Structure formats: C-alpha cells, structure tokens
Amino acid sequence: MKRIGLLVALHKPGVSQSARQLVDLLESLGVEVTMTNEVANLLDRRGGVTVDELTKTDVLVALGGDGCVLSAARLAAPKNVPILGIRVGGFGFLTEVEIDNVEEVFRKILAGEFCLDERMMLQAELWQGESLVWSAIGLNDVVVLKSPVSPLPNWEVSLNDELLARYPADGVAIATPTGSTAYTLSAGGPILAPDVDAFLLMPMYAHTLTLRPLVLSSKAKIKVKLLPQRRNVEGEISVDGQVNCRVLPIHQITVFKAPYKAQIVRLQGSSFYERLRQKLRWGERQ
C-alpha cells in the first residue's frame, strides 16, 4: 500500500485538524497521500486533484462519517478500489476507525493485518418511455418519496414485471443489507446481515395495515411508478440520501443489483454484530 486517496467531509467541525494529523502520519510512514484541491487548499498544500482522480490509489480513505463512506463507495466501487472509513464525530456505523486510533490502525494495515468486506450495491434508473433520464449507484438504499407539497400519491410496485401492489403511501424504499441499518431501520424495517444476498423492499408510511417489509432475492428487478391523480403529484428519488432526481408520473423507476461491489477495509477481529451491540445497543434494556 503505497498510495492512499483522501476524501474529507469538509463540513465536519474539527475535520481540518484531523486531516492534517492523518496526512502527517501517513507521510511519516512512507505513504503518498492524494487529496482533492479543496482539501489541499485547506491544509495549505499543493498538488490537489479532482475527485475522480482519488481512485487512482491503493485505498480510498473517507474521513468524516457514514455519509463520507457512502460517497467514497460510489466513487471507488466501479474502480475496484477498497475504502476505509475514519470517524470524526457523529454516529459512524460504517466507519471502521476512530481518528484517535489511526496510527495503530495504519501500522496494522501496512503490515497486511486487515481483510476486505465486500458489500452489495444498488443501481437506480429513471426512465421516460424508452429514454434513460438519470442513473446512480448506492451502497445503502434507493428511496422514492412524494414531495412535501404533493397530495398523498398512489404507487405501483412490480417485481420482475409482475405487479406486486398499488397503494397510497409517502413512498417506497429499497435497501441493501448495509442500508437495512440506516433509513429503513428508522421506519420499522428489519436488519439484514451484510452477507445476506438480498434486498429489503419497504413501503414508507403506507395508509394501509396490509403492507409489510419484504425481503427479496438480489436477482429481483424492482419497478416503481408514481400514478397520476386529479391533482398534480410529484416525488423525488434519492440514492444514499445524497444523489437526487425529480420524479413525475411520466417516469418509471427501475432498481436492481449493481454490477459493482464496495470493498470496505476491516481490521481483523472486528465484526458486524459487535457494531450492532456498540452502536445500536443491541439487546440492551434502557
């Protein structure tokens, strides 16, 4: 591991100090650090690159929180570059390392004492007739919701071209096992272990008691349509809560397993179930 890309959540309080600490450490260990122009300016350094060039490295480090890891996954997965999340404040379910422990962690990583945790990703496409309007990949989820000013809409959901249901609701979410501990968890969905080869289909605040979350094969192709009404309705599709596009009744949304996998650097001995206990206080009584 000779070259590391650094993606920084610049909005995080105190992140500049953490970034400077990390860069100094890595360079003292003989590692070349590639950073964006914005980060280079923040640290009073020269030689910044574009975001896309960060993936011309051995590992892409996401310094911030889970949102930074999600951004890194969309960049790195198509290039088959592993990512390592380092937490600076916040919750940090996906981040592997605390900023205070980076020296010990990188000495282990440079010694080869780590493994790669492969995570499934989703791809969302927005179609208007035969024309592809918009596309994005994500590590966590694809969420389609009505706009705040729209009346309650009806949604049509199909699986592998077979009608599943039409129902009134705020929307629908499709999550990977990684995303099952994020937005869909707060909406009452189940948690899927990371190695389960499946999707979670979650109606979002449906106005019916007959709908429940569905666990689907990762081979499924899910189609979602916003049905027209007398009053104008519109919605929005959001991938990982970061990449968004407007949705109208003239559109059809297709969601399926992406051709890429995110590779997350994990230290030997750390586990998903340990994070459940620590981060979500799994099984504890309040």
H or E segment at 20? Answer: helix 15-28
- Residue 78 main-chain phi, psi, to 5 deg: -65, -20
Catalytic (active site) residue 195: no
List the structure tokens of 33.
């650090």
Closest to 183 in 3D by CA, of 128, 228, 143: 143
* CA–CA gap between residue 28 and residue 280 (Å, rounded): 36
H or E segment at 276? Answer: helix 272-279
CB hemisphere CA count around 71 (13 angstroms)? 17
Query: DSSP letter at 152?
Result: P
Q: Which of 44, 66, 141, 195 is catalytic?
A: 66
List the structure tokens of 40.
């280079």
* CA–CA gap between residue 45 and residue 285 (Å, rounded): 49
The sign of the CA dihedral 7, 11, 14, 16 is positive
Contact 253, 126 (CB under 8 A): yes
* CA–CA gap between residue 194 and residue 177 (Å, rounded): 5
* CA–CA gap between residue 99 and residue 92 (Å, rounded): 11
Do β-strands 3-8 and 59-64 pair in parallel, antiparallel, or remain unpaired? parallel
Task: Please list the residues that pair with 246 across neighbouring strands.
Answer: 236
- Give whole-number Cα distances, 90 to 98, 136, 277, in Å: 11, 26, 17
Q: Which residues are catalytic?
A: 66
